[in-house]
Amino acid sequence: MHLILTGATGLVGSAVLDAMIKTKDITKISIISRRPVKMVEDAKDHRINVILHKDFEKYDSEGATTTPLSSQSLLSRLTTPWYAIIKGQAELALSQLSSTPSPSSPASSNPFVVYSMRPGYVDPASHASIHAYIPQLSATMNLLACVLGPAIRTGYKKLWSPTEELGKFCIEMAMGRWDNTIARETEGMKVGDSGRNGFEKLEGGGVVIGNGTWSRVARLG
């Protein structure tokens, strides 16, 4: 199994990469990154190839096709007032991959199955193996995490996304493990339907997995 990852130096990306490294069924890992990936350097895993690429809007003839596992990897700041708009546009653009003919074989069925994650409070507190690699929080955000983190972990678990479990779920989705489950949960849904079991169907065939839904599907919630 060959998986492709972008955003590997961010919080969610680090969690996903850690899960990839721990999963022996994955035989090849390609990472597209603007800068070297410290976790990869430390792991010394022969399965991993890091492709340094400065401009994500341009690809040369070698160019890989990226398959983001999380729309969060498209943004560096979640606090921007434009975040909701950009996130929605990114989810819709990714969804269109499901209905776009393959360039190599236009007549064949499209191989892409597109899922967009909307995790809640992404919490790395107990995920020690990524602590050395994730972006450092500002003083304000660190204070909020200290105050809100314990309350969310104990009283609002539907909002809670522990990174170790989240990373594992993301790669299992990419490997197709949850395709049948998600298909059953979204059976009969129309484009624009939302709220049913925490899923939303997008134009093009993509599915948004809502806040708290991934953990329910993974039997964590």
Half-sphere exposure (Cβ direction) of 221: Cα atoms closer than 13 Å? 21
Reported confidence tier of residue 156, pLDDT bands at 50, 70, 90:
confident
Q: Percent of the chain beyond pLDDT 90?
A: 42
pLDDT on residue 82: 59
State the Cα angle at 161 between 155 and 165, rounded to 5°.
125
Interacting residues of 221 by C-beta distance below 8 A, sequence separation 6+: 157, 158, 212, 215
pLDDT on residue 105: 53
All structural domains of the chain, each given as residue ranges with its CATH number in brackets, are 2-217 (3.40.50)
Whether 63 has a pLDDT exceeding 60, the answer reads no
Indicate the pairing of strand 194-196 with strand 199-201: antiparallel
Q: Percent of the chain beyond pLDDT 70?
A: 80
51, β-bridge pairs: 32
Higher pLDDT, 108 or 78: 108
pLDDT on residue 163: 95
What's the rounded Cα separation, in Å, for the pair 133 and 9? 7
Tens digits of per-residue pLDDT, 184-201?
888 888 887 776 688 988
**Phi, psi angles (nearest 5°) of residue 75:** -130, 145
State the Cα angle at 88 between 85 and 94, rounded to 5°.
140
